[in-house]
Copies of this chain bind each other. A is one copy, B any other.
Amino acid sequence: MRVLKFNIKDVAKRAGVSISTVSRVINDSKVVRPETHVKVMKAIEELGYKPNAIARSLKVKNTKTIGILIPDISYNFYPEVVRGVEDIANMYSYNIFLCNTDMEEDKVIQYFEVMAEKQVDGIVFMGNMVSEELAAKIKLYDIPTVLIGADYGQLPSVTIDHVAASKALVNYLIKKGHEKIALITGKMVDPIVGTARLAGYKKAMMEANLTIKDEYIVEGGHRYKSGYVCAQQLLSLEDKPTAIFAASDELAFGAIRVAMENGISIPDELAVVGFNNIDMAGKIFPALTTIAQPMYEMGAIGMRVLTKILNEDGPEQNKIVLDFSLIERETT
């Protein structure tokens, strides 16, 4: 840390006042006389003085800083929500520490502790599950934390109803006349991209009295490659599905490629739907039908909830469930 050359004492000396007076004008207390104010401001200007936020934090016991823990900023889902968080944070004069956890428990805990040591005022956590250990730490350190995407215990959170969304999407496919609907899930250890999507799928199928064929359900990962492989498997089946529901847009992109490569026309011979509505979903050809998660809003609202908590603005509604929407495009 380069020392910003001057401190409050230098300013005080130059302005011929005490440091408390300088402090007062910095934090514009109303009690200071206009002419002293001018004097001090002049000294500040001349010296190019900037208050030291670290020293200030030590005294006032807040840092105007929050930590955001996400799996991986380079994965297409997160940048948008981070942007939402940062916009609101900035609006309330907070800065954000960005931490990539790769969904690894060790890293999560490690970052959490570092954030605690660095005295962040609050934390935004994303990750499809919160472990017992993390929950315990949150309670132990008592750092205001809001969950985005996930939900856990009494913690404030902002989510969408993943099961309902998944079900809605399958219902839509059914309404379109599809009966042979395949599902490429996320990893089954993932309660959201894995089990929740599957649950919604099953619900919809059962309510429509459609048989759920095991070979129509394949476990993917969350990357393109895995969508590609799974779709290949699905499309080499004796009795091919007429629609594929991929648990994420990127997975869907993989499925689309398989179809394209094999001259299977979309949507005529095969419908493909994804989930998330990432930026590129509407920019590819054919444009992808998908469920839109309000990513930016999730971030923005999550951060808003956090600011409320930090300002102790009453016992807000702390479990927020946002609406999803079905974006119908060209793959169905």
Q: Which of A15-23, A35-43, A112-120 contacts B (4 or more CB under 8 A)?
A: A112-120
Interface residue A256 (Cβ < 8 Å from any Cβ of B): yes
- Report yes or no: A82 in contact with B87, Cβ–Cβ below 8 A: no
Please state if A80 and B87 are interface contacts (CB–CB under 8 Å).
no
A240 CB → nearest B CB, Å: 19
Centre residue among A73, A76, A82, A143 by max chain B CB count within 10 A: A73
Q: How far apart are A303's CB and chain B's nearest CB, in angstroms?
A: 13
* Contact (Cβ within 8 A) A54 B57: yes
Give the chain B neighbours of A1 by CB distance below 8 A.
Answer: 57, 61-63, 119-121
The reply to whether B58 and A54 form a contact with Cβ atoms under 8 Å apart is yes
B97 engages A52 (CB within 8 Å): no
Question: Which bracket fits the contact residues of A?
Answer: 35 or more
Say whether A50 contacts B224, CB under 8 Å. Answer: no
Residue of A48, A117, A261 with most partner-chain B CB within 10 A? A117
Cβ–Cβ < 8 Å partners of A65 in chain B: 97, 118
Q: How many copies are assembled?
A: 2
Q: In the assembly, what is the distance between CA of A83 and CA of B113, in Å?
A: 20
A117 touches B83 (CB 8 A): no
Looking across the interface, which residue of chain B has its beta carbon closest to that of A93? B114
Alpha-carbon separation in the docked complex, A284 to B144 (Å):
41
Residue with the highest number of chain B CB atoms closer than 10 Å, among A50, A75, A80:
A50
Q: From A55, which residue of chain B is reached at the shortest CB distance?
A: B58
CB <8 Å contact, A51 and B117 = yes
Residues A96 and B95 in contact, CB atoms below 8 Å apart: no
A74 at the interface (CB under 8 A from B): yes
Any B CB within 8 A of the CB of A260: yes
- A52-B117, A95-B114 known; 9 new pairs, CB 8 Å cut-off, are A4-B119, A53-B119, A73-B83, A74-B279, A75-B79, A82-B98, A86-B98, A95-B99, A280-B280
19 example contacts (A-B, Cβ-Cβ < 8 A) are as follows A1-B63, A2-B142, A4-B116, A4-B119, A50-B113, A53-B117, A54-B54, A54-B57, A54-B118, A54-B119, A65-B97, A74-B80, A74-B296, A78-B79, A79-B79, A83-B100, A96-B98, A253-B284, A260-B285
